[in-house]
Amino acid sequence: MSNAAAISVSDLTKQFGDFTAVDAITFEVQQGEIFGFLGANGAGKTTAMRMLCGLSLPTSGKANVAGFDLYKESEKIKKNIGYMSQKFSLYEDLTIRENNRFYGGIYGLTDQQIKEKTQFMLKHLHLESQADTLVKALPLGWKQKLSFSVSMIHDPKIVFLDEPTGGVDPITRREFWTMIYEAAHRGTTVFVTTHYMDEAEYCDRVSIMVDGRIEALDTPAALTKQYNAKGMAEVFVQLARKAKRSDN
């Protein structure tokens, strides 16, 4: 296994009864890479992502995430990754400062570290005046940017983003991607799912899952060329239309 790989997966499979949700997927994600993980609804993305985060045990196959074995060291994996989804992120009835203290505490940061991290984050997001505001009172765009920052409070090696920009206005969506670029430039590996096909173009490499398998994996430019398409939207539609398994 190469040292540079942040995620290394081989023949990873998950079965639920006689249904193979994830069917022997193999891929590597390099450190500092922005890796887009695409697929139609029901293709197996969520199941695969849950396994990589150590939340669900594979049926078979191998995986190493952030340098740890998925079977033996899932607790170490959890400490070394960050996770953010559109649905669940921050506690609405806590303030920004309290959310930071809570998540920082969970990840074992010292009081001093939490204090420094919080100050840096508030300054970076221009939210100094809002530190003691309840999260529920913030506009959605702010919440999403904030929860991205909180998901990285413990300086994880890899951050998993599950549809992080759903429902966000187009300007904030782009500001969010600027934050993703910045994180990747600092060396954080970004593993991201999205239904916005323009966002697929922002990734270094993209995989597309169909019926539990990875059907395509390359840079957006190479995929666009390979499928003789105008952009990733067309590539996606071409591949996803081949799906035999409807999402039921």
Report the interface residues with another protein, using CB under 8 A: 39-42, 86, 134, 136-137, 139-141, 163, 166-172, 174, 177-178, 181, 185, 195-198, 200-202, 220-221, 224, 231-233, 236-237, 240-241, 243, 246-248
Cβ proximity to another protein: between 114 and 217 the closer is 217
Q: Write the single-letter amino acid at 224.
A: T
Q: Which is nearer to another protein, 41 or 60 (CB)?
A: 41
Question: Around 194, how many Cα atoms within 13 Å sit in the side-chain half-sphere?
Answer: 26
What is the C-alpha separation between 166 and 162, in angstroms, rounded? 9
Residue 37, amino acid: F
- Minimum separation from the CB atom of position 112 to another protein (A): 32
Q: Which amino acid is at 102?
A: F
From the CB of 171, what's the least distance to another protein, in Å?
A: 5
- Which is nearer to another protein, 129 or 246 (by Cβ)? 246
Q: Whole-number minimum distance, CB 104 to another protein, in Å?
A: 26
8 Å CB contact between 144 and 165? yes
Indicate the residue among 77 and 146 with the shorter CB distance to another protein: 146
Q: Give the shortest CB-159-to-another protein separation in angstroms.
A: 17
CB of 15 to another protein, least distance (A): 18
Find the shortest distance in angstroms from Cβ 195 to another protein: 6
By beta-carbon proximity to another protein, the closer residue of 71 and 181 is 181
Between 15 and 133, CB nearer to another protein? 133
Sign of CA dihedral 187, 161, 103, 129: positive
Helix axes 140-151, 111-124, angle to 10 degrees: 140
Nearer to another protein, 124 or 136 (CB): 136
**What's the closest the beta carbon of residue 155 comes to another protein, in angstroms?**
21
